Amino acid sequence: MGSLSVSGVTKVYGVPGAPGAVTALSNLSFEIANHEFCTILGHSGCGKTTLLNMVAGFERATEGTIAVDGTPVGPPGWERSMMFQDYALFPWLTVRDNVMYGPRMKREPKDEARRQADELITLVGLAGFEKHYPHQLSGGMRQRVALARALVVCPRVLLMDEPFAALDSQTRSFMQDELVRIWRHEPKTVMLVTHSIDEAIKLSDRIIVLSSRPGRLKAQIPVDLPRPRDEDHPVYRALKKQLRDMIHEEMEEG
């Protein structure tokens, strides 16, 4: 399982109502179904990463509830694994040892942790690089390691904070295709945060658009296109224009 529910969530930094308090999110509600790939889209400052951090358990909501399979989220745990923008790999560990870290923290026997790690390393296309260190890998390869490490603990929900933002355009496009391939092989509930309209359309089953700060639910848009997605398809182009107009409207109002 892995359904995610966000209900009436408000996040205020500082004392609510006091001078200097900043409301990042306001009365936000939506649900993500089990194994659905859902993207949170909005321009900078709308509260996307704040929302992701609350789902992960790094921050707490000021009001409202966030639940996975009906259970309110608590501190960070294996059932909600995170992929960050900056890889967040341990530079002193090899590829294999980085991926084994999660199973070892779950107290899996070393041989079983290694088997699980090697299986995921092969899935993400890095077989043969098990003994390499992060500094010996390209940016795209490092993100493959980060993805393997996030998946190896069998999370119910995979959280992704603009994981391909630091990559060049060609590598980013390739990694998006790879993510879809891996997600089809290892179905997970995915919540991706991005400011890229193309990335949202290319990857998502559904796109949730947030308003300018404080972030509120502006729209929920299903992406009814077969994968892999053709950027020249009329539906793709129409959806891109619709989303671009929404974001521009929010930027002007903000």
Kindly report the average pLDDT of the chain as a whole number: 93
- Cross-strand bridge partners of residue 80: 157
Q: What's residue 249's pLDDT?
A: 84
With beta carbons less than 8 A apart as the criterion, state whether 10 and 28 touch: yes
Copy the structure tokens of residue 83. 């992929």
User: What is the rounded distance in angstroms from the CA atom of residue 232 to the CA atom of residue 40?
Assistant: 23
CA nearest neighbour of 159 among 191, 129, 126, 132: 191
Q: What's residue 28's pLDDT?
A: 97
Kindly state the percentage of the chain with pLDDT values over 70: 99
pLDDT band at 87 (very low <50, low <70, confident <90, very high): confident
Going from the C-alpha of 77 to that of each of 123, 190, 220, the distances in angstroms are 23, 16, 28
| Residue with more model confidence, 86 or 183 | 183
Q: What is the mean pLDDT of residues 214-234?
A: 94
pLDDT band at 27 (very low <50, low <70, confident <90, very high): very high
Q: What's residue 118's pLDDT?
A: 96
CB-based burial, 157-171: b 16+ in 10 Å, e otherwise: bbbbbbbbeebeeeb
> What's the chain's length in residues?
254
CB-based burial, 236-247: b 16+ in 10 Å, e otherwise: beebeeebeebb
Going from the C-alpha of 72 to that of each of 3, 9, 32, 78, the distances in angstroms are 12, 12, 15, 15
CA nearest neighbour of 101 among 162, 158, 145: 145
Kindly state the percentage of the chain with pLDDT values over 90: 79
Could you report the per-residue pLDDT of 53-65, keeping only the tens digit for each? 999 999 999 999 9
pTM: 0.93
User: What is the rounded distance in angstroms from the CA atom of residue 47 to the CA atom of residue 41?
Assistant: 10
Asked if residue 254 has pLDDT above 70, the reply is: no
Could you report the per-residue pLDDT of 134-154, keeping only the tens digit for each? 999 999 999 999 999 999 999
Copy the structure tokens of residue 240. 């891109």
pLDDT band at 126 (very low <50, low <70, confident <90, very high): very high
Q: Which domains does the chain have, with CATH numbers?
A: 1-79+157-163+188-254 (3.40.50.300)
Going from the C-alpha of 180 to that of each of 1, 39, 107, 176, 224, the distances in angstroms are 19, 13, 30, 6, 15
Q: What is the mean pLDDT of residues 19-27?
A: 92
Q: What is the mean pLDDT of residues 84-112?
A: 91
Asked if residue 244 has pLDDT above 70, the reply is: yes
Cβ contacts of 211 within 8 Å, gap of 6 or more:
42, 46, 217, 218, 250, 253
Q: What's residue 199's pLDDT?
A: 95
